[in-house]
């Protein structure tokens, strides 16, 4: 259930949380936070809120393929005991009207999703929903944005490029790990990067610093067919339909036979790629709109930074509802 890697030692996790809370100046006094209790690096979310002195943290704990509800609670409690904040965290089993109505800040986390019209109807008028990612990455299946706007519920993304958060700087490391895990050395490799979004320069920099030669284009149609590539790294913003389909698979099979396709971000029609015998990673297909490699794959640091930054963005907007201010707005991206 828990991640066995030594870098996720509970004492180290708590230390990373303290550093992130201080770096972001996260202050949740008087706020009630609704989030999830989770596993691995994502176990830190209720701990972040509690260390930031939230009045109460309501953490939804459920049995998943990663562990039983008892195991999830035990991991969260272990971290909370080390941090000395156990009295601030309350485990809950389900989202109910009385639970949701208490919350000032609600995170768009796994067990909290989907945030639908019914759940939004239970919220306080000044409640704030933290996406826990950048606003332009919004996934409609996560929450009912129309109902939020009708009710005046603020939905806030986090500026992951803020120096105190700096999650985007891990994107290149994640790309390197995804390729290494698939058997591509990266060093001396020729990589075709398909990217049409702000991830580009961060992924590109990480690959180049690891010794790769990188050609970057925003679509497969603009790639040179006269070059050989060890891997095609797909980091295209998801759409309603797969961003690479049967025609793209046929092009890759014709011009770059044997080249690995790394699904970093953006949905692809995997059956069409399998039909062309094109190797694809990651081995497990990500859910639509989700990344093929999670930030937690390279360690807990990006997750701690992301969760802290997401809560900070929500805190800033929540405090503005009763105390207008400008301090901290640099963390915020509003939808």
The span from the CA of 109 to the CA of 131, in Å, is 8
Specify which residues 214 forms β-bridges with: 191
Backbone angles phi, psi at 88, to 5 degrees: -95, -10
CA 82 to chain centre: 25
**The two three-digit tokens of residue 137, written as one number:** 């990455």
**The two three-digit tokens of residue 306, written as one number:** 């992301």
Is residue 115 within 8 Å of 93, Cβ to Cβ? no
| Residue linked to tokens 């519920």 | 153
Neighbours of 270 (CB within 10 A): 16
**Global pTM value:** 0.94
Report the interhelical angle of 10-24 vs 301-320 (nearest 10°).
40
Looking at residue 326, what is its pLDDT? 66
The span from the CA of 320 to the CA of 324, in Å, is 4
Looking at residue 324, what is its pLDDT? 76
Per-residue pLDDT for the chain (335 aa), expressed as one digit of tens each? 567 889 889 999 999 999 999 999 999 999 999 999 999 999 999 999 999 999 999 999 998 888 899 999 999 999 999 999 999 999 999 999 999 999 999 999 999 999 999 999 999 999 999 999 999 999 999 999 999 999 999 999 999 999 999 999 999 999 999 999 999 999 999 999 999 999 999 999 999 999 999 999 999 999 999 999 999 999 999 998 999 999 999 999 999 999 999 999 999 999 999 999 999 999 999 999 999 999 999 999 999 999 999 999 999 999 998 877 767 899 999 88
Domains, the chain, with CATH or none: 6-165+297-334 (3.40.50.720), 183-281 (3.40.50.720)
**The two three-digit tokens of residue 319, written as one number:** 């405090």
> Coil, strand or helix: which one is 193?
strand
Angstrom CA distances, 155 to 99, 115, 237, 277, stand at 19, 11, 20, 43
């Amino acid at each position: 259930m828990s991640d066995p890697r030594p870098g996720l030692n509970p004492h180290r996790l708590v230390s990373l949380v303290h550093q992130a809370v201080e770096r972001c100046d996260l202050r949740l006094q008087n706020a009630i936070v609704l989030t999830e209790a989770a596993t691995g690096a994502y176990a830190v979310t209720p701990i972040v809120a509690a260390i930031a002195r939230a009045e109460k943290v309501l953490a939804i704990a459920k049995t998943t393929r990663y562990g039983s509800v008892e195991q999830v609670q035990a991991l969260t409690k272990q971290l909370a005991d080390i941090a000395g904040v156990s009295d601030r965290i309350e485990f809950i089993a389900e989202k109910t009207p009385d639970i949701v109505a208490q919350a000032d800040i609600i995170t768009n986390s796994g067990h909290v999703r989907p945030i639908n019209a019914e759940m939004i109807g239970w919220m306080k008028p000044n409640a704030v929903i933290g996406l826990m990612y950048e606003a332009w990455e919004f996934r409609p299946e996560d929450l009912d944005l129309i109902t939020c706007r009708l009710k005046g519920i603020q939905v806030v993304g986090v500026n992951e490029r803020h120096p105190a958060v700096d999650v985007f700087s891990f994107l290149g490391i994640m790309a390197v790990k995804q390729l290494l895990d698939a058997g591509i050395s990266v060093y001396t490799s020729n990589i075709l990067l398909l990217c049409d979004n702000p991830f580009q320069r961060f992924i590109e920099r990480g690959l180049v610093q690891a010794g790769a030669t990188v050609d970057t284009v925003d679509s497969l149609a603009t790639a040179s067919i006269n070059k050989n590539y060890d891997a095609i790294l797909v980091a295209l913003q998801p759409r309603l339909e797969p961003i690479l389909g049967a025609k793209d698979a046929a092009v890759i099979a014709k011009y770059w036979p044997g080249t690995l396709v790394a699904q970093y971000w953006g949905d692809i029609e995997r059956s069409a790629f399998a039909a062309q015998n094109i190797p694809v990673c990651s081995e497990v297909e990500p859910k639509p709109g989700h990344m093929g490699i999670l930030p937690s794959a390279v360690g807990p640091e990006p997750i701690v930074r992301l969760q802290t930054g997401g809560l900070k963005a929500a805190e800033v907007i929540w405090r503005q509802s009763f105390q207008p201010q400008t301090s901290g707005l640099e963390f915020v991206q509003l939808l």
